[in-house]
Amino acid sequence: MQRRQIIKGLAASSLLLGAGGMSAPLWAKGDNNADVIVIGAGLAGLTSARYLKQQGYNVLVLEARERIGGRILTLNSHGVNAEAGGLQIGQGYGLMRTYAEQLGLPLVSLGNYAKQNTFVINGQRISADDWPAHEQNKLEDKNILPSSLYYAALAAGPKYTLPSDWTSAKYAPLDISLQAYFQKQNISPEALRLMDANLNALSLHDLSAADAFYRLSLARVGGRGAQKVAGGNSRFTQALADDIGDGIHRQKVVSHITEGANNVNVRCEDGSEYSAKRIVITTPFSALKDVIIQGDISASKRRAINEAVYTPVTQVHFAVKKQADVSMLAATNLWTDNSLGRVFSQVDDAGRLTYLTSWINGQQAKALDKLTVKEAVNIVKGALNTYYPGLKGKTDVVHHQSWGNERFSKGAYIQFAPGQVQALVPHMASVEGKLHFAGEHTEFMHSGMESAIVSGLRAAQELSDRL
């Protein structure tokens, strides 16, 4: 609680500072020059731009997409506000909650999700009650559910005092693949296979154990329970953008960043050019490595940009047709070891199915991403009909989202491969000349959307101190 109040206090004071900021901008405002350029109109970029504007600086935001929000994306369809991007506002998200209150955005529960879980293992649908004695249960501990394996294995391992401990020399031996770490604990091949099926990373082989224990430590300090913005989390990024006004330029795909003696020049694919004293870069490193950066960039930073790994996530959203009679169907979430991934089922107040989201991670998502959208959707829909036959012909495909194939993200969130925690993490947020960096990939004391917001505020304050 004390830590949460500190974060809230930081948010409140940072917003109030806008009233007593600079009396005049450094440069005269123009269409193509500013005091500061912010690249990216996601949570981090909008937070940075809003803070700097409140300090009196002329700020331009360059956003590659047609929309603002980055990896925040609310789908408004069939009477449901579903999230295809950032989903949960955790109880420990003190800064985001403070901003939401000041922006007049009420928070509500995530929605009515089915309480019951069902498993699909090796093509067979198995209830949680039947799992312990089922023939497909090859685990040593017959009572542990497939969905619980991963965190049960992590819980038996080392515990960081603070999340930031993961980069200390004491834990350097953990900077190996999580698969290798688990094998040293004599975890069975079948347990490893099931963990890999729905891992929030590319694979056990591609994830550093130090990173896995770090994420667990964040979950421990984050508090239980979660909410979202009423009407969808995209309302949050839109409210930030509204405060910035016409300083946001969309469909500006940055191709070159050139640091000069007194300014930084930015060139976009459409030929437009911009100039500022300093810039904030919030682009995920997976996409930033496609940008030509000429300037005072350290070798460690360039390595971080070029080698950063992002987790592929693919979703297919289904709405239950209004005319469909699903009153006899038991609402349940599915956890599978195949390309259907996990299916989260939402219900109405009467307990009837209204909406389903198939959420596929890692290698399963990577395989789907090699297909056309139509092929990928057909595979997922076919699997849904196979393991939930009562829904056959009763759903509409609302949306397909591949964050791995999305050009300006190339993944849903950063993960660190074996050896990268010690080598890359210390350089993710470092200021390089006139270039400042923000985004969830640069902030490691918080998780999810909170990390993006905190990073944006941190980068803005670092920049303001140097102007």
Residue 130 resides in a domain: no
The parent domain of residue 254 ranges over 2-70+229-308+416-466
**Is residue 149 situated within a structural domain?**
no
Confidence at residue 325, expressed as pLDDT on a 0 to 100 scale: 82
Q: Reduce the DSSP state of residue 271 to 3 states and report it.
A: coil
Domain presence at residue 162: no
15 in a structural domain: yes
pTM of the model: 0.92
- Token pair for residue 307? 């080698």
What is the pLDDT of the chain when averaged over all its residues?
A: 91
Cα separation of 85 and 82, whole Å? 9
Query: Phi, psi at residue 358, to the nearest 5°?
Result: -90, 120
Establish if 184 belongs to a structural domain.
Answer: no
Which residues, 6+ apart, have CB-to-CB distance to 103 below 8 Å? Answer: 236, 239, 240
Is the C-alpha dihedral spanning 196, 207, 74, 220 positive or negative? Answer: positive
Give the pLDDT confidence of 428-445 residue by residue, as tens digits. 999 999 999 999 999 998
User: What is the per-residue pLDDT across 243-271, written as a single tens digit (0 to 9) for each?
Assistant: 999 999 999 999 999 999 999 999 999 99
Bridge partners of 121, per DSSP, are: 124
- pLDDT tens digits, residue range 139-196? 999 999 999 999 999 999 998 888 888 999 999 999 999 999 999 999 999 999 999 9
449: domain CATH number? 3.50.50.60
Q: Given the structure tokens 């917003």, which residue do they identify?
A: 15
In a domain, 292, yes or no: yes
Average pLDDT over residues 122-138: 96
pLDDT one-digit tens code per residue, 27-39: 444 568 899 999 9
The position carrying tokens 């070798």 is 299
Report whether 276 contacts 61 (CB < 8 A): no
Assigned domain for 189 exists: no
**The total number of structural domains that make up the chain:** 1
The pLDDT of residue 144 is 97
Residue 12 falls within a domain, yes or no?
yes
